[in-house]
Structure 1
Amino acid sequence: MAKLQMFDVVFDGDNTAVYRSGEVVRGFVRIVLGEVKNDVRGIQIKFKGESHTRWSEGDGKNNRCYSAREVYFKEKIICWGKSKNDPGASKLTLESGEHRFPFSFQIPNVPLPFPFESCVGWIRYRIMCKIDRPWKFNHNTERLFTVVGTPIDLNTMPHARIPSHQEATKTVCCLCCAQGPIIVKASTDKGAYVSGESIFVSGTIENNTSREIIDITYKLVQFVTYFSSGGHKTRRTFTMVKDKAPGCKSGEVARMDWKPLILPSIPPSGPQGCNIIKIEYFVEFEGDVSSTPLDAEVKLPVTIGTVPLYQSQYPDPSAVVSEQPSASAATAPPPSYQVAVEGLQEIPSKSGHDYTFGKLMYAPQYPTYNLPASAPTWDPAHPPQQAQSGYYPPKY
Structure 2
Amino acid sequence: MALPNTYSLRVDILDIVFADDDGEEFRPGDVMQGFVRVVLQHKKSFLDIDIKIKGKSVTHWTKDDKSYASTEYFFKDSWILYGEVQGDKSPKTLSPGEHRFPFQYRLPDALLPPIIRKQSGEVSYNVRVKIHRLNDKPAHKVKRQFNIKRDLDLNVVDDILEPVMRESTQTLTSCCCHVGQVTVMVGIDKGGYATGEPIILSGQVEDDDESTDRYDIHAALVQVTTFKSKEGTLTTRDVMITSVMSGHVACEPRRLSNQAIFLPRDLTPCAFQGCSNIALDYELEIKAYLGGSKPVATLSFPIIIGTIPAHRTIQRPQPPPAFSVRPLPASYHGPRPSDIEGQSASSNGLPPSYETVMKEKQTGGPTEDEKERLSVVSGSTPSSPLVQGDMKHYGVF
Distance 1:5 1:87, change over 3 A: closer
Kept in 2: contact 1:153–1:306 (CA 8 A): yes
Q: 1:6 aligned to 2:1?
A: no
Distance 1:207 1:43, change over 3 A: farther
- Out of 64, 77, 80, the position equivalent to 2:82 is 80
User: What is the CA deviation profile of residues 363-385 of structure 1, one whole-angstrom value per residue up to 9, with x for unaligned ones?
Assistant: xxxxxxxxxxxxxxxxxxxxxxx
RMSD (Å), alpha carbons: 2.8
Q: Tell me which amino acid in the other structure corresponds to 1:51.
A: S
* C-alpha separation in 1, matches of 2:54 and 2:182: 53
Q: 1:275 aligned to 2:282?
A: no
- Out of 35, 38, 42, the position equivalent to 1:36 is 42
Kept in 2: contact 1:207–1:248 (CA 8 A): no
Q: Tell me which amino acid in the other structure corresponds to 2:20.
A: G
User: What is the CA deviation profile of residues 105-132 of structure 1, one whole-angstrom value per residue up to 9, with x for unaligned ones?
Assistant: 1112222222222222211121111122
- Report the equivalent of 1:70: 72
Kept in 2: contact 1:206–1:252 (CA 8 A): no
Kept in 2: contact 1:208–1:250 (CA 8 A): no
Partner SS, residue 155 of structure 2: helix
Kept in 2: contact 1:219–1:242 (CA 8 A): yes
Distance 1:203 1:97, change over 3 A: farther
Distance 1:182 1:132, change over 3 A: farther
CA shift for structure 1 position 310: 2.2
Q: TM-score, normalised by structure 2?
A: 0.69
Q: 1:203 aligned to 2:192?
A: no
Runs of 5+ unmatched residues, structure 1 = 316-320, 324-396
User: What is the CA deviation profile of residues 254-294 of structure 1, one whole-angstrom value per residue up to 9, with x for unaligned ones?
Assistant: 63211212221212224111111111112122123544444
Map 1:77-156 to 2 at 5 A. 77-82=79-84, 88-134=88-134, 135-149=136-150, 151-156=151-156
- Report the equivalent of 1:26: 33
- Out of 35, 42, 48, the position equivalent to 2:54 is 48
CA shift for structure 1 position 215: 2.5
Partner SS, residue 298 of structure 1: strand
Distance 1:296 1:102, change over 3 A: same
User: What is the CA deviation profile of residues 280-327 of structure 1, one whole-angstrom value per residue up to 9, with x for unaligned ones?
Assistant: 112122123544444522111211122222238xx9xxxxx9x9xxxx
Kept in 2: contact 1:38–1:91 (CA 8 A): no
Q: Relative contact order: is structure 1 or structure 2 higher (C-alpha 8 Å, sep ≥ 6)?
A: 1
* C-alpha separation in 2, matches of 1:139 and 1:20: 30
- Report the equivalent of 1:17: 24
User: What is the CA deviation profile of residues 148-188 of structure 1, one whole-angstrom value per residue up to 9, with x for unaligned ones?
Assistant: 23x42222222211011111123445434455433221111
User: What is the CA deviation profile of residues 208-236 of structure 1, one whole-angstrom value per residue up to 9, with x for unaligned ones?
Assistant: 45467563222322111111122x11111
Q: Tell me which amino acid in the other structure corresponds to 1:31.
A: V
Map 1:369-388 to 2 at 5 A. none
Kept in 2: contact 1:207–1:213 (CA 8 A): no
Q: Tell me which amino acid in the other structure corresponds to 2:42.
A: V
Bigger radius of gyration: 2
Percent identity (aligned)? 32
Runs of at least 4 residues off by over 6 Å: 249-253
* C-alpha separation in 1, matches of 2:72 and 2:253: 50
Kept in 2: contact 1:213–1:248 (CA 8 A): yes
Q: Tell me which amino acid in the other structure corresponds to 1:54.
A: H
- Report the equivalent of 2:190: 190
Kept in 2: contact 1:130–1:139 (CA 8 A): yes
Distance 1:181 1:120, change over 3 A: farther
Kept in 2: contact 1:40–1:133 (CA 8 A): yes
Distance 1:177 1:43, change over 3 A: farther
Partner SS, residue 216 of structure 2: strand
* C-alpha separation in 1, matches of 2:282 and 2:141: 38
User: What is the CA deviation profile of residues 68-125 of structure 1, one whole-angstrom value per residue up to 9, with x for unaligned ones?
Assistant: 1111110001111139xx8552433333332221111111222222222222221112
Kept in 2: contact 1:9–1:27 (CA 8 A): yes
The answer to which of 87-96 and 18-27 deviates more is 87-96
CA shift for structure 1 position 25: 0.5
* C-alpha separation in 2, matches of 1:39 and 1:301: 59
Structure with more of its chain in helix, by fraction: 2
Partner SS, residue 114 of structure 2: coil
Runs of 5+ unmatched residues, structure 2 = 1-7, 317-397
* C-alpha separation in 1, matches of 2:298 and 2:22: 45
Structure with more of its chain in strand, by fraction: 1
Kept in 1: contact 2:287–2:295 (CA 8 A): no
- Report the equivalent of 1:362: none
Kept in 2: contact 1:208–1:251 (CA 8 A): no
Q: TM-score, normalised by structure 1?
A: 0.69
Partner SS, residue 102 of structure 1: strand
